[in-house]
Structure 1
Amino acid sequence: MYHLSLTFTVHRALLISGVLRNVLLFIFFFSFTLSVLLILSTFMEERLAVPMQSSESRISLIQQVRIFPQGGGDVKFDQPWRLPDVVVIKELADLQSGPQKYIVSNFSYSPGLGNLMFQYASLRAIAAKYGAKVLLPIDCTLRRAFNLDAVFVSRALNDYLIGKFDAVKHHFEECCRYYESASTGLFSRKGQKFELLIGYFQAFPYFHPHQELLIREQFRFLPSVAIRANDLILEAKAEKIRATAGALEGDNVNEIEQAAIPDIDESTYVYVGVHVRHGMDITLNSRNTKHGHTVATREYFKNAMNYFRQKYNNIVFIITSDNRAWMSAHIDVIRRGEVYFLNSRHREVDLAALALCNHTIMSTGTFSWWAAYLADGDAVYYGDWPNPGSVLERTVHKKDFFLEKWIAIR
């Protein structure tokens, strides 16, 4: 009897042990499966993020060929100056209630300041031809720099308009080519109020010279930006004066020589804005370099600076860069006070300072293009951009991109 009881007890213990083991295995596999599902869920959310974007983003991802390195995507409305108050239209009915015509575009896939300026300038000039207004999303960062006369709309309304008129949009793929069709035959249907134009529009014939005054007025910097830029130029002037005075007076100058030192005429100073683009979006991005993007070389900046040294006296080079270390190591300084490095930490202020200069040494890209255009003096550009024989070279029509009076230097 005792033997049977012991056998039954052992059997029950083994049974319970087996059940516990199965329960533990179930818990383990359930936890493992749940973890895998969570990981897959996160992965799929990331993969599905593109389809869940706005209609505007979907259109640009599918149909827009990105050929310019993207810069400025991290810029937010955190500037230390106040922006002008604007009215924001959120309802389509508010746009349809009157006779006003509008041009709609995508101002989000190319967030660089120079890129946005090209797009707006071209569309604003086209709009002027038809008595239309440009619709600008309220989150467009051009507002950080300029008080534009666009009609501001919510991002949601702008997305809706792009999706609504997707079937009849005008899409211009090549970045730096003037398409005459972009500015002809618009608003041809009776009662038509909207035209959707998608593209980079990085070609000056859209607005220059026939709408030059209009565009210069549009791109008048906000007072707070202009004041900061002017302060930088004054600081550069002060450094030049101190350097010149120190070089003239010296430690070994006697009283007779001191009396012969001429007065410093700061009105003769010639300011040359220099943009040195050498960021990772070009130097380390194999896709961009294979496509034909390139940075201006040290030899180019040396030759360009010497060009202005030979042409003008009392030069002050006002230099800004997205790679200060490279700039400091590769820009030759011949005289004290000759070079002033901008350090405003705001691209709008840097551009405004370059625009205040008399002349311009351009780098590659649209930021320095606008620096040269707004300064409206002598300008030189890197002659080996884009890379000869590249895909980009075939899409950049230099006669539509560089003003005829600008000079190519290598």
Structure 2
Amino acid sequence: MINANKNILFTGTVLAFCVILFVHVFLFPLYAVNPSHSSLRVFMDFEKSLCSSNYIKSKKTWSKQQCPKYGVVTTMQGGRLGNQMWEYASVWAVARRTGLEPYIPRCIRIKLDQVFDSLSVPTFEEIAHCPVDMSTFVKSLDAWNYTYQSIVLPRYSVQPDIVLTWVQDIIQEFSFKKKLVNKSQNILRLVAKNNSQSIFVGVHVRRTDYISYLWRKYSMLPANTSFYYGAMKYFQDKYTNVIFIIVSDDPAWCIKKFSRKKNVYITSKKFINSPSLDLAILSSCNHSIIDYGTFGVWGAILAGGETIFYNVSHHSTVRLGQILPNWHTLA
């Protein structure tokens, strides 16, 4: 009987140990944001921890710039073009607000450099050799207290209240490469048949993966055609010679729903455009209609005209509508 109890106790102990080992080894890493502080010795190591991709190549030699005297501000990488524009803009704006030195991980900057010219925020390549003290880092502007502290913003960071304080400056910061500007302008001229009096309204229709996200996050269905047609009517009643340029991740759905309108042009109807070209097209329009998603938001911000947006409660777009006077929903 005693031996049986010992066996039961031993078996229970082994099972408990296995459970603890499983949790620590297999589950905890799923929630880890950064590697252990002890493994981050210089900013080159720190930069790698900020990137969700692993294609950053280490250099054998670095041009040794002066190391930061005070704290820095940076961000983690997350999402695609629209998200990474917010991450970059948030670092840019927080640095302006705090006086900290801004640095962008190369995994973000490499992507943005393919789209924009002369971005001003440097990468960690300039200070890769400098020692990093992770104990000085906080994760938000609200937690920042003094100039020797550094800030690392989370991935998918959206800071409209700070960024849009300098909205015209950030528009200049995101200046498209000349080839994208020329291509987008040529498309608009072709669509307008060289009518210089045309008013272009960029329409962003986000569907595919966002449909399930809307239901999961907000328990709501995607915008239906009544929203887009209502917004189109608003601009048609206000202006003459209006042409709607539709950009979407689901052009087939847009062709089915909007191709009967004579003043509608759907990009990627015949050939799939790159996201960078579609964004350049949206930014070249006079006004905007957007539903949701950071891609359409940036298209409207860079266009700089009047914007009608789909009202999603507690969505960041609503906050933009409160900040920018020419952004509004349909009554």
**So what's the TM-score if we normalise by structure 1?**
0.59
CA deviation map 1:232-257 (0-9, x unaligned): 2222222xx6xxxxxxxxxxxxxxxx
Deviation at residue 405 of structure 1 after TM alignment:
2.7
Q: Which secondary structure state, in structure 2, belongs to the residue aligned with residue 195 of structure 1?
A: strand
- C-alpha distance in 1 between matches for 2:90 and 2:61: 26
Is this contact kept in 2: 1:379–1:407, CA < 8 A?
Answer: yes
1:105 partnered with 2:105: no
The 5 Å alignment of 1:232-247 reads 232-238=187-193
CA deviation map 1:277-311 (0-9, x unaligned): 111x122x3x6522116522111011111111111
1:398 corresponds, among 284, 296, 318, to: 318
- C-alpha distance in 1 between matches for 2:106 and 2:160: 25
Q: Which secondary structure state, in structure 2, belongs to the residue aligned with residue 275 of structure 1?
A: strand
In structure 2, the partner of 1:9 is none
The 5 Å alignment of 1:8-407 reads 51=29, 56=34, 94=64, 97=67, 99=69, 102-106=72-76, 108=77, 110-140=78-108, 141-146=111-116, 147-153=118-124, 165=134, 167-172=135-140, 181=142, 185-187=145-147, 189=148, 194-198=150-154, 200-209=156-165, 211-238=166-193, 266-279=195-208, 281-283=209-211, 285=212, 288-292=214-218, 294-331=221-258, 333-335=260-262, 338-343=263-268, 345-383=273-311, 385-386=312-313, 393=314, 396=316, 398-399=318-319, 402=322, 403-407=324-328
Inter-CA distance 308–345: structure 2 relative to 1 (3 Å threshold) = same
Deviation at residue 367 of structure 1 after TM alignment:
1.0
- C-alpha distance in 2 between matches for 1:217 and 1:57: 36
Is this contact kept in 1: 2:160–2:319, CA < 8 A?
Answer: no
Q: Which secondary structure state, in structure 1, belongs to the residue aligned with residue 305 of structure 2?
A: coil
Inter-CA distance 50–181: structure 2 relative to 1 (3 Å threshold) = closer
Name stretches of at least 5 consecutive residues in structure 1 with no aligned partner: 1-43, 60-72, 78-87, 173-179, 242-265, 387-392
Inter-CA distance 133–57: structure 2 relative to 1 (3 Å threshold) = same
| Percentage of pairs with the same residue | 24
Is this contact kept in 2: 1:296–1:364, CA < 8 A?
Answer: no
Is this contact kept in 2: 1:271–1:315, CA < 8 A?
Answer: yes
- C-alpha distance in 2 between matches for 1:91 and 1:288: 47
- The size of the alignment, in residue pairs, is 282
Amino acid at match of 1:232: I
Mean CA deviation greater in 50-59 or 126-135: 50-59
CA deviation map 1:249-283 (0-9, x unaligned): xxxxxxxxxxxxxxxxx22110000111111x122
Amino acid at match of 1:181: D
CA deviation map 1:171-220 (0-9, x unaligned): 35xxxxxxx626x6342x3xx6x4323353424211223x2232122101
Amino acid at match of 1:341: I
> What is the CA RMSD across the aligned residues, in angstroms?
3.8
Deviation at residue 327 of structure 1 after TM alignment:
0.8
**So what's the TM-score if we normalise by structure 2?**
0.72
Name stretches of at least 5 consecutive residues in structure 2 with no aligned partner: 1-21, 38-51
Q: Which has the larger radius of gyration?
A: 1
CA deviation map 1:4-43 (0-9, x unaligned): xxxxxxxxxxxxxxxxxxxxxxxxxxxxxxxxxxxxxxxx
Q: Which secondary structure state, in structure 2, belongs to the residue aligned with residue 136 of structure 1?
A: coil
Q: Which secondary structure state, in structure 1, belongs to the residue aligned with residue 153 of structure 2?
A: strand
Q: Which secondary structure state, in structure 1, belongs to the residue aligned with residue 164 of structure 2?
A: coil
Is this contact kept in 2: 1:148–1:218, CA < 8 A?
Answer: yes
Deviation at residue 334 of structure 1 after TM alignment:
3.2
